[in-house]
Amino acid sequence: MHGVGKDKVSDMTTNIIRANLIEYTHTQCDLHGIAMTNDVPTGAYWVPETRQWEWSHDRMLIVDGLPILLVPKCIVSYCRAYSTDIYHRHFILNFVRREQLATNGPFVQHRKAKKGQKVGVAFVTDKDMKVKYPAQKDFIAGFTQLHRDVFKEFRDATTKTAKPLDNMDIGAANIPDICLYLATKLKDTPSGNDAATAYHHLIIGILELIFYPTLACPRKEAEIHDGRKRIDIVFDNAARDGEFHRLAARKIPANYIVVECKNYGKDVKNPELDQLTGRFSFKRGQFGMLVCRSVKDYKALIKRCQDAFKDDRGLIIPILDDDLIDLLEKKAADPTGRPEENFIRDRIREVAFS
């Protein structure tokens, strides 16, 4: 339709999900210690329950006098695939072609018949179809109203190919340098209570870098059970493929990935595993990562994780400093690689299938 393009669609989408983006902005500002301003008008947002537009006042991120909404990078992608040209050429014209061939319509031509054939192979050219079915917004809008199944086919096919932004697509950050910096920072962070908070923040950054876009939207010290319990870190499981996606096939709920950080100078034992399994639920998920510095008896730790899994208390995999440093170094060497997939696969097998 005239006057409707990707900018207006983006604005419309933002308005519809504004309340969700405000909530996301809260979690990220709280996570990174960014100051927000209280009692700021939110602007209108859509409420599905009431099917109405509403507005309110809330904490907002203000930069240079303007309210800013943060957007999860895992839901952002380049819109090249969502183009009028692709929709028209590969879906509308293909639909018309199939219809013409099925009904022997006026656009059908025949190649010269080969020996023994009465009629040559039928075909339809794009050039002929484009005269009646032009790549114009008014025509495409009208066609879509009549043939919504064709648009659904386009949307479904494009959704499968659209990918979230890569870390290297955002800004001028040098991912290899960041990986090596984080590895050095981890090595230099001492164990013990005094450095527990620094270690906690560092692990959030390391895990987000290693596992993006599979894990997204980290939240620190997420409250559950009306605040009676807290989870060190919670990630949304945004995996479309790979090991985190396959957890459901193994009948392990994992809508969210629960992480507990232990900055101990000693081995973690059953109480720490029990603490993590106590954060599991069917809706939240029953998969977690226990991140700790190092262990003297690795086999005993794995055995404890195996015991929890065999007792149907959830699947826990341990992740040590050496594991994180190795993954960071591999990411630095190949920022587009996915060494974390092999690591998660092997660690899951070690716990669940040994």
CB 25 within 8 A of CB 61: yes
Phi, psi of 121 (to 5 degrees): -65, 135
Residue 73 pLDDT: 85
Q: Which two tokens stand for residue 218?
A: 């980290």
Q: Whole-prediction pTM value? A: 0.78
Q: What would the CATH number be for the domain defined by 168-352?
A: 3.40.91
**Closest residue by Cα to residue 246 from 257, 256, 254:** 254
pLDDT band at 2 (very low <50, low <70, confident <90, very high): low
Mean pLDDT of 38-61: 93
pLDDT at 164: 76
State the pLDDT at residue 67.
94
CA distance 302 to 135: 60
Confidence label for 29 from pLDDT (cuts 50, 70 and 90): very high
Spatial neighbors of 323 by CB under 8 A, at least 6 apart, are 343
Q: Residue 258 in contact with residue 276, Cβ under 8 Å? A: yes
The residue among 79 and 1 whose pLDDT is bigger is 79
Is the pLDDT higher at 84 or at 262? 262
Which amino acid appears at position 212 of this protein?
Answer: Y
Average pLDDT, the chain: 89
Express each pLDDT in 99-158 by its tens digit. 999 999 998 898 887 877 777 788 998 888 888 889 888 889 899 999 999 999 998 888
- How confident is residue 223, by pLDDT bands cut at 50, 70 and 90? low
* Separation CA 244–CA 50 (nearest Å): 35
| Mean pLDDT (whole number) for 36-57 | 93
What is the per-residue pLDDT for 119? 74
All structural domains of the chain with their residue ranges = 6-71, 84-161, 168-352
1 pLDDT higher than 70: no
Which long-range contacts does 172-179 make (Cβ < 8 Å, 24+ apart)? 175/209, 175/331, 175/332, 175/335, 176/331, 176/332, 176/333, 176/335, 177/332, 178/209, 179/209, 179/328, 179/329, 179/331, 179/332, 179/335
pLDDT of 349 > 90? The answer is yes
Q: What is the mean pLDDT of residues 310-315?
A: 93
CA-angle at 156, arms to 127 and 216, nearest 5°? 135
**pLDDT single digits (tens) 203-215:** 999 999 999 989 9
Q: Which of 244 and 224 is assigned the larger pLDDT?
A: 244
- In this prediction, residue 8 carries a pLDDT of 80
Q: Mind listing the pLDDT tens digit for each residue in 254-288?
A: 999 999 999 998 888 889 898 899 889 888 899 99
State mean pLDDT over 198-207: 94
